[in-house]
Structure 1
Amino acid sequence: MRRVALKIAYIGSKFHGYQRQPDYRTVEGELLKVFKETGIIEDTWKAHYSVAGRTDKGVHSTANVISFITDEEIYINKLNGLLPDDIKIVAEARVPYSFKVRFPQTRTYTYIQPIDPFYGESIDIDAMREAINLFIGEHNFRNFSKRNEKNPNREITHVDLKCVDDVLVFTIEGKSFLWNMVRKMVKALLHVGYHELTVDDIEELLQPKELRQYIRLQPAAACGLILSDINYKNIKFKESQYAKDKLAGYLKEEYLTNRQKMITDKHLIEILKSDNEPLTTTNKKIKG
C-alpha cells in the first residue's frame, strides 16, 4: 500500500463542476469511473481519497490535485487513454501517508477577461492596478464570498494584472479561498476599471462588515477561471509533457470552433445594428 498524488488538468466547459453528482457529467465522476475500471480505487473511503479543490461548473484546471492509497501501479498513459479528451492526468508524486491534499502551501488562480469591445469608454487599467494591491495580505473576504463563512479571513500572497492584446490576465495566489472569492474579486476590479466602483469602495468591502446587500457583486463568468497551480512543501511532481500535449491538441480544435462562432457572432451584430447605432453596451451601476 502507498499513497499517491496525481495532478489533474481539465477543461471545465462541458462539466457540471468537479464534484461527482448523480445524473450530471463531472470531472470526479469520470476519474472515479476509470479508477474503478482499472482497479486502482475500489472504495473511495477505504482509499482515503481526497481532492485539493472542488471547482465549480465551467471552471478549468491545469493543476488540481487528488490523493489516495492504492496497491496498484499507476500508469498515466494507460489511464489517460481511458479518460475523456477534456481530462488528463498531467503529473504524479509519491507522498507520505500523512499527506493532506487539501492543505497546500499555495494555490494560484488565473482569470482571463477579454476587454469589452462594445463598451463606450476605455477601461482604466491604472485604477485597477491600484485597487488590486489592496487585496495583498490578510483580510476579511466576507463581501467577496457567495455564502456566510465561519472564518472569512484569508491571506493573499501575490496578485498581478497584465493586459495582453486587449485581454486582461489576473493572477491571484493564496493558501486558501472562499467560495466564489476569486471571481468576485475579479468582478469588483472590472467595476473599478469601468468606473462603476472606486478604489475606496474596494477598501470598504475588505472591512469586517456586511455590505453584500448594498454593493452587489456578481461573480465573474466561470469560463474565465483556471486553477493554474498548487504547491506543497517538500512534494515534487513528475510531469507528463505527453499528457499536456494531448490536452492542448484537444483545446486547439475547440479553439478553432469557438473562434469561428465568435467571428460569426460579431458579423451578425454588425448586420443587425442600425447604421447610426454605436456598437456599445450600457454603463450600468451596481450600487443600491
Structure 2
Amino acid sequence: MRKIALKVAYIGTNYHGFQRQPDVPTVEGKLLEALEGAGIIEDPKKARFQIAGRTDRGVHALGNFVSFFTEEDIHVNQINDLLPRDIRVLAWASVMYPFKVRYPLERHYRYILHREESMDTDSMAEAAAHFRGTHDFSNFSRRRERDPVRRINDVRISEVGDSIIIDVYGESFLWQMVRKMVRALLMVSEGELAPDDMAGLLDTDRRVFLEPMPPENLILMDLKYGVKIKLRHDEYAFKRFISLLEEEFRLYREMSLVRRAMSDHLRDLQEHGLTD
C-alpha cells in the first residue's frame, strides 16, 4: 500500500467549488469518479482520501493537491482520460505516510485585474504592506469564523501588459479572504480608501463589510510543503491543458470582439439620433 499525492489543475467555471456537494458538479466529485473508474481507489474513506484545500465556486487552480492510499500503479493519462477536459492531473508523487496534504507551509493565490488608467498601483502596494504578518482577518471573511487569525507572508503587486497581478502568499486563508483583500486594495487604488486605512480594516472592533471580488479572476497557483515531494510531471497532461486554455482564450477574445462591435454600433445610433 502506497500513499500517493496528485497535483491537480482545473478551470473552475463549470463547478460549484472543489469540495464534494450533493447533486451539483464539483472538482473533487469528478476526480473521485475518475479514480474509482480507473480502479485506483474503491472508496474514498477506505483510501483515506484527503484534499489540500477548498476553492470556491468559479475559482481556478494550477496547483491544488489531493492524497490517498492505493495498491495500484499510477498512470496520469489513464486518470485524465476519465476526467472532463477542464480538470487535469498534472503530476503525481509517492509520499511518506506521515505526509499531510492538508497542511502546506504556504499557499500561493493570484488575482488578475484588467488595468485601468485610473488605477494607482503604488498606493495598492503601500496598502498591501499592512497585510503582511499575523492579523485578525474577521473583516475579510465571515464574522462567525472560529479562528480568524491568519499569517500573510507576502503580498506582491505587479503590472504585466494590460493586467495588474496581485500575488498573495500565506499558510492558510479564510473563506473569500483573498477576494476581499483585493477589493480593499482596489478601493485604495480608486481613492475610496487611503493606504493607511488597511490598519483600520484589520481592527476587529470595527465591523466593516467588504464585497468580495468575482471568483473568476482568482487562481490557486501552488502549494509549498515542508518536505520535498518528488513530483513526476506529465508532459502530455501539460500540453493538453495548455491547449485547452489557449482555445478558450481565443474563443473569449472572439466573443469580446463581437460584443465590442455590437456596443460600438449602438453608440453610433445614439450619437446620430434614434429613429423608428
- Relative to the length of structure 1, the TM-score reads 0.89
Measured after TM superposition, the shift of residue 58 of structure 1 is: 0.6
Which 10-residue stretch deviates more, 89-98 or 2-11? 89-98
What are the superposed Cα offsets for residues 207-263 of structure 1, whole Å, 9 maximum, x if unpaired? 222422xxx311111010000010111232222232111101011111111111112
Match of 2:224 among 231, 237, 240: 231
User: Corresponding residue for 2:259?
Assistant: 265
Corresponding residue number in structure 1 for 2:131: 135
Q: Which runs of 5+ in 1 are unaligned?
A: 277-288
* Secondary structure of 1:192's aligned partner: helix
| 2:213 aligned partner | 220
Letter in 1 for 2:123: A
Task: Report the equivalent of 1:94.
Answer: 94
Distance 2:240 2:83 in 1: 11
Q: Identity of counterpart residues, as a percentage?
A: 45
The aligned residue for residue 204 of structure 2 is 208
Q: Which runs of 4+ in 1 moved over 3 A?
A: 273-276
Deviation at 1:200, TM superposition (A): 2.6
Indicate how the Cα distance of structure 1 residues 136 and 82 shifts in structure 2: closer, same or farther if over 3 A, else same: same
What does residue range 77-226 of structure 1 map to in structure 2 within 5 Å? 77-116=77-116, 122-212=118-208, 216-226=209-219
C-alpha deviations, 1:76-135, integer Å up to 9, x for none?
12111221111111111111112211100110001111124xxxx611111111101111
Deviations 1:147-192 (A, max 9, x none): 4211111111111111122211110001000110001001110111
TM-score, reference length from structure 2: 0.93
Report the 3-state secondary structure (helix = DSSP H, G, I; strand = E; otherwise coil) of the residue aligned with 2:154: strand
What CA distance in whole angstroms lies between the structure 1 residues aligned with 2:92 and 2:163?
Answer: 33
Corresponding residue SS for 1:46: coil
User: Does the 8 A contact of 1:108 with 1:171 survive in 2?
Assistant: yes
Letter in 2 for 1:238: R
Unpaired segments ≥5 residues, structure 2: none
Give the paired residue count. 269
CA separation in 1, counterparts of 2:226 and 2:123? 36
> Using the alignment, how far apart are the partners of 2:134 and 2:186 within structure 1?
22
Letter of the 2:105 partner, please give it: Q
Which residue identity lines up with residue 237 of structure 2 in the other structure? A
The equivalent position to 1:241 in structure 2, one of 211, 235, 240, is 235
Instruction: Answer yes or no: is the 8 Å Cα contact 1:147–1:179 preserved in 2.
Output: no
1:84 is aligned with what amino acid?
Answer: P
Structure 2 residue aligned with 1:42: 42
Deviates most, 237-246 or 173-182? 237-246
Q: Deviations over 1:28-66 (max 9, x none)?
A: 111111111122111111111110111111100000000
Asked whether the 8 Å contact 1:142–1:210 carries over to 2, the reply is no
